[in-house]
Amino acid sequence: MTTTAPALLTRLRGPLTFLALIAAALLLLPLLLEPFRLNLFAQYLCYAIVALGISLAWGRGGMLTLGHGVFFGLGAYAMGMHLTLASTAADPLNTTGLPQFMVWSGLTELPWFWKPFTHPATAIAAAVLVPGAAAALLGWSVFRQRVRGAYFAILNQALAAAFVIFLIGQQHLTGGTNGLTNFPVFAGHSLYSPTAQTTLYTITVLTLAAIYLLFRHVNNSRYGKLLIAIRDAEDRVRYLGYNPTWAKTLAYALSAMAAGIGGALFVPIMGIISPSLIGVIPSIMMVLAVAIGGRYSLAGAATGAVLINAAETTFAETFASGWIYLQGALFVLVIALAPHGLAGLTRQAATALTRPRTRTTPPAPQDTTTGSPA
């Protein structure tokens, strides 16, 4: 038997890795990366927050959410609307008190649903609650009818398409194809200063860490196991006395809320939100990144989102047209060779390395557990 010291180390390895990663992200990266790169990295982390949500809904709950761009977009637009109003109010040349695009569309008064967004707190609350409520409503009505699998995925795609059509069609309300952009201030602070960008980055890192811990707790609870059971045999779960509808709706809503938070953080960092960032294709890309990172593992999904987005930037800088083929090839390879993604490969490698010393212990842990953050 091992002594208590190594056992304690093994038990602390997860939390220590987690803390080390946060410390490195918060203290080291702002020093190492120039502001432009740090800003890009913060954007990747926003997608990592979305990826955590997709991992919960898809990896855990088996709901292929091919429309997460919608929830990301709802959060992003909530924040974008506030930032637009804030920049309008701060603009000394604007006498109408209306955003530019509304003036050009001939509006004379602020639409009713824009009004609450003058206050930042409303915008932040809406960025979390509107996606959550939308997903809960959609989930409840769909799961109750026992719609699942490909039908659910197609429904999500349709939702993403419809949302984009609405945004583009209602230009006087939403800014249309151009979206919302030009955000110099948030709550009285300039967003263009390096300090503001570092602060946004810090908030994003901490938010990502908090949502990771929350979802990890959810996965490890009985409810997390119930989700696995529903994913693998939904009908059997009914005969245990559970109603799968509420369980799936909750996971879907939590997942949408994470996407909304990711979207809300993304807007002040990126400086723009437009339909092209949240439509059908971006929605698929979000799921792709999770598939490549490993959908059964929260850490894998988040890592996948960062890696894929980083790779996209890197390749787009050198040869732009090649990226789309490489991404397609990567997806095919992962599905064919490593269905559990990078997280699965890492685990396999770790198991292979430690096997000689742990021959007497039971077989490798299941890939569905979240494990330690890595």
Residues that bind other proteins (CB under 8 A): 217-218, 220-223, 225-226, 228-229, 232-233, 235-236, 238-243, 246, 250, 362-363, 366, 368
Q: What is the DSSP string of 302-343?
A: HHHHHHHHHHHHHHHHH-TTHHHHHHHHHHHHHHHH-TTHHH
Q: Which two tokens stand for residue 43?
A: 């954007």
Q: State which residue, 239 or 319, has the beta carbon closest to other proteins.
A: 239
* 297 contacts 343 by C-beta, under 8 angstroms: yes
Q: Which two tokens stand for residue 182?
A: 């030009």
Q: Shortest approach of other proteins to residue 210 CB, angstroms?
A: 16
Q: Shortest approach of other proteins to residue 146 CB, angstroms?
A: 11
Q: Shortest approach of other proteins to residue 247 CB, angstroms?
A: 8
Beta-bridge partner residues of 272: 181
Q: State which residue, 115 or 236, has the beta carbon closest to other proteins.
A: 236
Q: Shortest approach of other proteins to residue 58 CB, angstroms?
A: 15
Angle at 347 between CA 344 and CA 352, to 5 degrees: 125
Q: State which residue, 275 or 300, has the beta carbon closest to other proteins.
A: 300
Q: State which residue, 200 or 250, has the beta carbon closest to other proteins.
A: 250
Q: Shortest approach of other proteins to residue 370 CB, angstroms?
A: 13
Q: State which residue, 92 or 362, has the beta carbon closest to other proteins.
A: 362
Q: Shortest approach of other proteins to residue 245 CB, angstroms?
A: 9
Q: Shortest approach of other proteins to residue 261 CB, angstroms?
A: 19
Q: Shortest approach of other proteins to residue 225 CB, angstroms?
A: 5
Q: How far apart are alpha carbons 310 and 313 in whole angstroms?
A: 5
Q: Shortest approach of other proteins to residue 216 CB, angstroms?
A: 10
Q: Which residues contact 238 (CB under 8 A, 6 or more apart)?
A: 244
* 267 contacts 203 by C-beta, under 8 angstroms: no
What single DSSP character describes residue 372? Answer: S
Using alpha carbons, list the distances in angstroms from residue 192 to 41, 182, 338, 341. 17, 10, 42, 37
User: Which among 50, 53, 56 is positioned nearest to 230, based on CA atoms?
Assistant: 56
Q: State which residue, 200 or 226, has the beta carbon closest to other proteins.
A: 226
Alpha helices in the chain (DSSP H): 4-23, 29-32, 35-54, 68-90, 100-104, 120-144, 150-169, 171-174, 194-220, 222-238, 244-270, 280-293, 298-318, 322-337, 341-354
Q: State which residue, 179 or 224, has the beta carbon closest to other proteins.
A: 224
Q: State which residue, 56 or 270, has the beta carbon closest to other proteins.
A: 56
Q: State which residue, 189 or 225, has the beta carbon closest to other proteins.
A: 225
Identity of the amino acid at 251: A
For 172, phi then psi, to 5°, come to -70, -20
Angle at 72 between CA 126 and CA 199, to 5 degrees: 75
